[in-house]
Amino acid sequence: MERSTVYFTRDISPAGLLRAYEALGAALKGKVAVKLSTGEPGGHNFLSPDLIRGLVSRLHGTIVECNTAYPGRRDTTQAHWQTMEEHGFRAIAPCDIMDEEGDMAIPVREGRHLKENYVGAHLANYDSMLILSHFKGHAMGGFGGALKNMSIGVASSRGKGHIHCSGGSFAHFEDMFTADHDSFLESMAEADSAVMDYLGRENIVYVSVANKLSVDCDCDAHPHDPEMADLGIFASLDPVALDQACVDAVYRSPDPGKAALIERMESRNGIHTVETAAQMGLGSRDYTLVNLD
């Protein structure tokens, strides 16, 4: 696969976010979904509405999410709507909980673990998507970036359990913690392939903000404080290259605080999702980094 391009700016601001997106030269068509994490109440890692308002407005986008598969304040539609209100997202753009009216199955071509991926039924209402991710650590995935946001994030509540259990039985919340770990990481890549096939690769673009670099995810109501400084904003048409570039930037950082995040990524074998996605032809781990500063 050809080398991909990843654009980068250290300017974590509304203007910097717009500049990173515009560098892609993309023209998202029709009704545009902006997929991000609305963040678990109590946490502070989710992307600030003030940061993303200008870009979402530029796209005339709808902020989309799906309900969680774990107990909290986003596991029911009613609670999730309240969380989106409290976190300020409903004040800046139309919002949609895509599995509010159930889910739908989309096929996974050549999946080792998944034959279908259960996504929010409202995905059918959109023509294109911006995967707008907060890059950070994650308790199970090692890190959360574009690939996780597109797989677990677009999956319905049921679909999240289906991915975590690699297509196996998902009857209880605890089942997600007993499934084979590498199979779960591979299943995320398989779910990514289904979303990319469904929407069309040309209709999805990816922007990741590497700030508030906690070892914990936006889904954690009590995340660990970040131990390293913010890195910047990365953007690409290739989700594999984008996640690889974010991971590489952590390793290259001179900040000694990076050790905690690296330990989290390595202890969970987080790079395996990127490896699997590349093997499936979803993108390239080889990239050229273009500095926009």
46-85 per-position pLDDT tens digit: 999 999 999 999 999 999 999 988 777 788 899 999 999 9
Say which residue, 217 or 151, is predicted with more confidence. 151
Sign, CA torsion 223/226/230/234: negative
Give which of 226, 211, 225, 219 is closest to 39, Cα–Cα: 219
Instruction: Report, as an integer, the average pLDDT of 248-253.
Output: 98
CA angle 276, 149, 124 (to 5 degrees): 105
Instruction: Tell me whether residue 172 is exposed, middle or buried, using C-beta atoms within 10 angstroms of its C-beta: 0 to 12, 13 to 18, 19 or more.
Output: exposed
Length of the chain: 293
Say which residue, 240 or 174, is predicted with more confidence. 240
Distance CA 208, CA 162 (A): 25
27 Cβ contact list (under 8 Å, min separation 6):
none
Query: How far from 285 is each of 1, 6, 157, 240, 247, CA to CA, in Å?
Result: 9, 11, 30, 6, 11
pLDDT at position 75 is 82
Instruction: Report, as an integer, the average pLDDT of 206-232.
Output: 87
- In three-state secondary structure terms, 235 is strand
Q: Give the model's confidence band at 217: pLDDT under 50 very low, under 70 low, under 90 confident, else very high.
A: confident
Instruction: Report, as an integer, the average pLDDT of 23-42.
Output: 93
pTM of the model: 0.96
- Compute the mean pLDDT over every residue in the chain, rounded to the nearest whole number: 93
Q: Give the model's confidence band at 39: pLDDT under 50 very low, under 70 low, under 90 confident, else very high.
A: confident
Q: Which structure tokens are listed for 86?
A: 């409290």
- In three-state secondary structure terms, 98 is coil
Say which residue, 40 or 43, is predicted with more confidence. 40
Q: Give the model's confidence band at 41: pLDDT under 50 very low, under 70 low, under 90 confident, else very high.
A: confident
Domains of the chain: 4-291 (3.40.50)
pLDDT (tens digit per residue) in 151-172? 999 999 999 999 999 987 665 6
